[in-house]
Structure 1
Amino acid sequence: MSCICKQQQQQQQQQQQQHLTVQMEKQHQTIEADKDLQFHNVQSKSEVTVEQRERMEKNRHLAVRKRQQCLVPEVEKETSSESISNKPEAGVNEEIKKQKMKSESIETKLRKISELVKDIGDEFFEIGDDRLE
């Protein structure tokens, strides 16, 4: 019986060792692939033309603007992706104007509410004064 247990333990150890070696080989392969990719990226960066750099920079700016517009919670989806790519500044300016108008209308509503509350408070005190007399 003890022989069978020892054989099973040896088999388990061999399987674990095989599994570890396979994992290490996979890691080594991915590390080598990453090194190759990094080398290729460095090499390709040096070969990029001025036009390609400008195009990449423009695309990056457009992507940043699109992300910013997605972050604004009440952005209306009337502007299509074509208008954003053709007139990015105009779309952003329109959204800013809309947001300002909304905030101004909210401020005026708050002023009206505070005036009504003040009027109600004044009337309440007048009623209280009348009762005291």
Structure 2
Amino acid sequence: MNNYYQNNGWDIHEGYQPMSKTIYRAIPDARYELEAGGAEQQDLGNGFFRYLWVPAQEGNTPIRIRPSRYLDFRLNARPGQQVISAGFATDPLEDISIVQIWPRHPHVMAILLHSGERSSSASTIDLWLIVKSM
């Protein structure tokens, strides 16, 4: 018998936080190939550049993510550039998160976004990519 627990058997805990569902999805709801030629380019100096894909500002059709959806983006830099980092912004701010982000190739960054079930409306997605000229 021990002095810490009332029972002598297995330690039983109640009230564990429930685990979220594991994501087993082979195919996203949509995939977008975004080219550097269709983005706003900003020279950051020392061979670094930022590409911004802001469809609403360019007069293009905005990319929207609806609740409980997955979107796959491929951000393509120009030849001779290597991807460094990438990110996104939404309008309005909702429960949207990055499931995965990785440099698929030296000049391609892949981003998989998920809009949570608690999102109340579709959000417009703006993306950015940082590259270094080689």
**Could you state the TM-score of these two structures normalised by the residue count of structure 1?**
0.20
Bigger-Rg structure (1/2): 1
TM-score (norm 2): 0.20
Higher helix proportion: 1
